[in-house]
Amino acid sequence: MAIVTEVGNEKNTCFWSDRWLHGHRLDQLLPHLFAAIAPRARKRSVFDALADASWITDIKGALTLEVLAEYLELWDFLSDFSLQAEVEDVHV
């Protein structure tokens, strides 16, 4: 069963492993980048990850060409993304 998250304020949605970006999980969309993420950081909320672009500091592994390409892809995805502070996250 797939759980899709409708993102509001993003405080209850996991940045790396919940289906919040266009209905997809980042660990599936960007597997090379995800492999470079520190295990402890994989539980970071979307809200915390987007604050001052702190998701970038989660990257601790080797910066291969694939990792860098997926980093740029994610940067592009997030450039048009905005939080809805007054709306709670919904997991369906």
The answer to whether 12 and 90 are in contact (CB under 8 A) is no
For the chain, 92 residues long, give each residue's pLDDT as a single digit of tens.
444 445 555 577 889 988 888 788 999 999 999 999 999 999 999 888 988 889 999 999 889 999 999 999 999 988 876 655 555 545 45
What distance in Å separates the CA atoms of residue 89 and residue 92, rounded to the nearest whole number?
A: 10
State pTM to two decimals: 0.77
